[in-house]
Copies of this chain bind each other. A is one copy, B any other.
Amino acid sequence: MEKGLLIVLSGPSGVGKGTVCSALRKRATDLTYSISVTTRKPREGEVEGVNYFFRSREQFEEMIRKGELLEYAEYVGNYYGTPANFVQQSLEAGKDVLLEIEVQGALKVKERFPDGIFVFLTPPSISELRNRIVGRGTESKDTIDKRMDTAVEELSLIKHYDYAVENDQIDAACERILSIIVAEHCRKERVLPYLTKWIEEVR
C-alpha cells in the first residue's frame, strides 16, 4: 500500500496556522490531523484522542525518555508534544497526516521525517507587511528595527521548507495547501515505484 504523506503546516506566530488548520478540518475530511499529547487538564467538552491525548506529568516524561515524541515543549507549566506513534501508524495505513506546529517544533519533526512536506504559512499580504512595519511613522526607530529583525528572522526559516503559502485569505490558503497535497501525490518519484513494480509483474 502507498504510504500517506506527512504535511507539516508551520509559520511565524500570529500568521494564522490554527485558523487555517481549523478551516481545513471542516473542508478536508479525508485528511488525518495529528493529535497532540498534553499534561494540562481537559477543558469542558474536550475529548481524549480527539482534541488531545491527556497524560500525567510522569507519563509524559516517560514518553520523552522513550523517544516517543517527535517534539515537545513546556508552556505555562504544562507539557505539549507530538506523539510519533500516531503519525507513523496513520502514514503506514496510507493516510495523509496534517501536523500544525510552531517553527521550532517543525524543524525537530523534519529530523525524523525528512520526507515530510513542509509548508510555511507566510503573513497575509506580505507585499504590504513593509507598510505595516514602517507603519504610520508613530513608532520609534528602535521599535521598527526590532520588528524588522523578528520578521526577517521568522521569514528566513522558509529556507527549511518546501512550500510557502501566503495566508491572504483563509479559503485561498486552504485551497493552496490542498493543491500541494494533490500535486505531491502526482510526483514522479512517488508514482515510479508502483509503475515499475506493475511493469515487472506484467512482463
Contact = CB atoms under 8 A, between A and B. Distances in A.
Given A152-B203, A198-B127, A202-B133, A191 B164 contact: yes
B176 A182 contact: yes
A5 to B, nearest CB: 12
Contacts of A152: 199, 203
Interface residues of A, number: 39
Nearest to A173: B186
Interface in A113-151: 119-120, 122, 126-127, 129-130, 133-134, 148, 151
A134 B164 CA distance: 46
Interface string A38-56: 0000000000000000000
A interface secondary structure, majority = helix
A134 to B, nearest CB: 7
A156 B61 CA distance: 50
Interface string A160-203: 01111100000000011011101110111001100100110111
Given A183-B179, A198-B130, A163 B148 contact: no
Contacts of A91: none
A120 to B, nearest CB: 7
A101 interface: no
A195 B164 contact: yes
Contacts of A97: none
A158 interface: yes
A84 interface: no
A118 to B, nearest CB: 9
